[in-house]
Chains A and B, each alone.
Chain A
Amino acid sequence: MKRKAGGPIVMLLICLYLVIPLVFTFLYAVSGDWSGLLPRGITFRYYAEIFSDPAFLLSLLRTLVISVLPVVLCTIFVLLAMFVITAYHPWMDRYMQILCTIPYAIQGVIIAISVLALYANAPPPLGNRILMLTATYCVVALPYIYQGIKNSLNSVNAGCLIEAAQILGASKFAAFFRVIVPNIMPGVTVSAMLSVSILFGDFVVVNTLAGNYYQTAQVYLYHALFRSGQLSSAIVIALFGLTLLISLCVFFLKRRGAPGGMR
């Protein structure tokens, strides 16, 4: 049988196409002056500028907080709900699944404006922008977290484990939270980190709901776009580096053998 030599070339071309914008952005961020065809000189002053700007560092911190907190909350809420479903009423799972798939259809601008229109003028606590943002992010992360937990529960055969624990005298609550949850932690962590990286890169929800109240790194980048191209490139590369770090953590967690992990 003939062996095609075109395969590696195709892959190389695709890799080149994908990597070129990144390379250019990086070069733009470290070049002295690039008004002509080629840059003049290398400088790291844009990186120095952004990392010494308290507004940028604060926005990074805010982004981290608002990416991690909703995921943690969502995971706890879903675990609690799955406890009830797995241990007591499995028939509820279908409705849980529907509730956790709806966010796919309303992702992005739809859920942002829906929440905004409904609660913008509501009395606190519902009217509080940060609460709205956190809760909306929880809903955005819901499908991924639910899928991760569900897959993990299936792979450890949760129903049987609970029965076995009960035979040995444990309550359902103890069976779920002291036996099952530690076992599904790897899979749950993988989908949690995936959700964190999704929330980290979100722009539409935070810009619609809380753009001026809670400036995250993406909003900061948006305002920088109009100020200086090279400053923006430095921010882009910094943010990309952070996202990459999170993805690498996911990659290594998965390699350690996560039962029922995704992707």
Chain B
Amino acid sequence: MKGKRTYLLALAPFLLLALLFEVAPVVTVVLRSFQAEGGGGFTLAHYVSIFAKPLYRQAAVNSVVISLLSAAIGIAVAFFGAKAANGAGGRMRSFFMSVLNMCSNFAGLPLAFAFIIMLGNTGVFVLMGKRYGIGFLADFNIYSSAGLLLTYVYFQIPLAILLLLPAFDGLHKEWRETVSLLGGRGSDYWMKVGLPVLLPSFLGTFSVLFSNALSAYATAYALLQANFSLLPIRISEQFVGDIVQHKEFGSALAVVMMLLMVIAILCQNAVLGRRKGSGQ
């Protein structure tokens, strides 16, 4: 090979992009999170405030809780959905997959809006509840944590089923028959064979769902405004908007969120290999 290194120029555009808009911003955010208000110095004050001030501690806790809950509910529903799809014939399964793929595109603002139509203050189901005296529906408040959870679960389910299906395909039918030949029942099969085999995929899918919910912004933005504190909303508030900007504090919040995401992604990679989540 000759000494000409001109081919390295081909690396330039990518490196420029990655350095300027990926590495530099992240490094700056991390550095800034340790700076005092207005720049300069080294302080852990911002991190302390996050855990000391109820507003922001609540935001972090809320985000983690709603991500865990929506991931758990999503994966529970997905277990039965994937199990059903796995046992179904070709046409039913393709139809099911098409519906899932179609509805996984329905997320973010449009989804929040659809739920407002159905369950908002003058939503169809709420009006029905009032008319027929169904207390649960009449009093349902979509602009609460319960409402948010319902919306989050909606976009978690298709993603979870699509991720779990390949795992179910790995469960051989012969194992089921073997268990019953050896005298075991359905529950024995699931407890001793099925669930242990599926466990890695479950954990991997769970962390995909967790990071998916944690970074959800548009849905929360549309439904909550200022009522329920969530981490992504609090972060963007520090940088954009009417109130005074708090770049350093916002950076600290962002670092906390980044750490949570990294933990989730490390779990994903360890268990699922290369997989991706979908938008919210």
Contact = CB atoms under 8 A, between A and B. Distances in A.
Nearest to A14: B81
Nearest to A88: B7
6 tightest Cβ-Cβ pairs between the two chains A and B: A114-B25, A21-B114, A7-B84, A203-B218, A204-B217, A81-B14
Secondary structure at chain B's binding surface: helix, strand, loop or mixed? helix
A180 interface: no
Contacts of A116: 239-240
A251 B128 CA distance: 39
A96 B134 CA distance: 57
A46 interface: no
B113 A25 contact: yes
Given A1-B176, A113-B235, A143-B276, A80 B124 contact: no
Nearest to B115: A21
Interface in A120-152: 126, 132, 135-136, 138-139, 142-144, 147
B88 A7 contact: yes
Interface in A191-224: 197-198, 201-204, 207-208, 218, 221-222
A21 B24 CA distance: 41
B113 A233 contact: yes
Nearest to B25: A114
Contact of A201 (B7, B14, B108, B122): B108
A114 to B, nearest CB: 3
A243 B103 CA distance: 10
Contact of B117 (A77, A103, A126, A229): A229
B10 A83 contact: yes
Interface in B231-280: 232, 235-236, 238-240, 247, 250-251, 254, 257-258, 261-262, 265, 269, 274, 276-279
Interface in B94-128: 96, 99-103, 105-111, 113-118, 122, 124, 127-128
Contacts of A10: 80-81, 83-84
12 contacts: A6-B84, A8-B92, A10-B83, A11-B85, A20-B118, A81-B13, A81-B15, A106-B258, A114-B26, A115-B25, A147-B274, A222-B222
A21 B247 contact: no
Contacts of A14: 77, 81, 96, 157, 161
Contact of B28 (A109, A118, A126, A218): A118
A24 B118 contact: yes
Contact of A8 (B24, B88, B162, B274): B88
A54 B269 CA distance: 46
Given A11-B96, A112-B236, 15 more contacts: A7-B84, A14-B161, A17-B154, A21-B115, A25-B117, A76-B13, A80-B10, A80-B14, A109-B232, A113-B239, A139-B21, A142-B18, A221-B109, A233-B113, A239-B110
Interface in A205-259: 207-208, 218, 221-222, 225, 229, 232-233, 236, 239-240, 243-244, 247, 251
Interface string A82-95: 01100110000000
Contacts of B180: 1
B140 interface: no
A236 B88 contact: no
B29 interface: yes
